[in-house]
Structure 1
């Protein structure tokens, strides 16, 4: 069996320019939201990869502020859905209304017609309304009365949910969870950051942030990521990890094919954000938790983020890491 190693097709200069753009966006976001830099890098990676993010955290951690800042630095329009038990699918997607003036039906778009859509407390709305998000998250369009309406590009859904207060909630089914590229948690800010806020230090309002990249430039970042090299040994490493989750004695369902493809795609963006034209096994390991942990289904049924992450850490420890030779 022969192993071929791809030579980086992305020039170093272009990779470094992309990394500088990521750094400017991250700096802008962190001036408005006191977040861990690693988390900011991950959410920017998801956006550039065309994925969606589930923020699972306690109230008051800055989830909404982070999403607003992301929309600002990318020059995008922001939409917001506050989920409640009585929320209807049409409240999310929009409706067709008959116009008495011109005697025609007109489509009135809902809040999902934006570049960054914040879906607050997604597990507080009914499964019927949750499912209204499935098509737009997967296909980038909404179908109303038989007509397809594409949403703006780039497009990112940032959904939030409280992992502690579960009374009166509708847990997301596996099919919906699999639509999210990453599940992240902001956590509490560092001690110095929280002290700074307690002393009255002000943060920049997200709306005051200047755009760093606009839609077409974000699309070019995605195109540049397609030229980031992934060695055959790294692809096989991802495959071995995925297969190990599918055979895990404590898992009812391992990583799906969509999950494997998502990890490889995201690793390219992650490498680009670091100024590299090639993916390393360390990129895969850094992304495995946020990209895969929420896709695992334990035998015991529903599990928290900590349990699935612990199982995934065990898988990462069991599968040998490929040698660095020839990867870059």
Structure 2
């Protein structure tokens, strides 16, 4: 089975490449710029055709949430038009597409974890561009899976876990938002779930349960609670540690509003594919251990998650 994933350096793409090592019968091919540029449609079509996929994983995206407020045209070009072109290329080749989306398609006002049928209402440009991307993917062909996920971290790329460890090396105390809740989701677990779903699609030629699925880590926590667990784990392993001070989102205004409730129910995915994510604590501890051991990629000096800390 040959999975072609868009984007070379994203957390999910890197995690798929990691998961593909030693996985007999699975070949992961990551394609990105300049061969594939989501702002240049013809490169998308040509690059995916040349890669000869059995399944396309649409993971490349514009993810700068605050910057998107100043760059709406670029955000929509990548996340909406570009995503549609990826799905269209897959449809032309007669193969399924698995597209990654986000909790930001919701406004966060629901009292419970969101299910796939809940009404969408993005709060900002990023969420609106990702929602438009979902719609473009669905319009491109019926053999699509849209996976909404949230609070993604991993040993790769830019993410909240890396930011906490970096800041703890320089500070005694870190202020973190305490009134936004979600499901921390390890990209390595997302990769495992994608491979599991892809194997089902490859094996079951009559599969018809395409559509939208939620895929997030098991269990829920606030950003500040997530930070505490990261740093407590780091301290136990001999890594950097800092105290975490709770703050309210209103005390740390950002250009783009964030959902107060990012919790996603993954029950539909579990029922369809027989796969459940590990508890977020377990996956977090594994990633922190990998980062502290020096076996992961070097830390990026910036983070896309700094809107939650001070």
TM-score in terms of structure 1 length: 0.30
TM-score in terms of structure 2 length: 0.31
Q: Tell which structure's C-alpha radius of gyration is larger.
A: 1
Instruction: Work out which structure has the larger RCO, using CA pairs closer than 8 Å and 6 or more positions apart in sequence.
Output: 1
